[in-house]
Structure 1
Amino acid sequence: MIRLLIADDQQLAREGLRQLLRITAGTVKIHVSGVLSKIGVHTRVQAAIHAYRSGLVSSDEEK
């Protein structure tokens, strides 16, 4: 789930979340915005940095 949130391709990430959760693209956008707000960031890049620094993901998971 975190990988989808911080995916490089925003459209691909949104579509992946939409399919996974079986919700509309608009609903995904609302939920992603809520997550970004709750962790105090404005962009998916900042969310990715936050995830790495918090130990939610590691570089080993990308391989």
Structure 2
Amino acid sequence: MKSHLENALDYLLLAKQESQDSSFERSQMLNKAIENISLLLTEPEDSWTPPNRHDFLIADLLIEACQ
């Protein structure tokens, strides 16, 4: 089963691809990414790990998607 982080990354990459096709589909993908990030942020504290390269990639994609 994929982690919330992996799912968020998948949805952000899809949103990036959809950005040229349909703003509605792009919006749906961004909402799914945000859902997965929210799930990740509400996980128990003892399961927290320091940011890694994927976290920074997600942050970069979120910034790009919001511009």
Give the TM interval when normalised to the shorter protein. Answer: 0.3 to 0.5
TM-score by length of 1: 0.36
Structure with greater helix percent: 2
TM-score by length of 2: 0.34
Which has the higher relative contact order, 1 or 2, with Cα contacts under 8 A spaced 6 or more apart?
2
Larger radius of gyration: 2
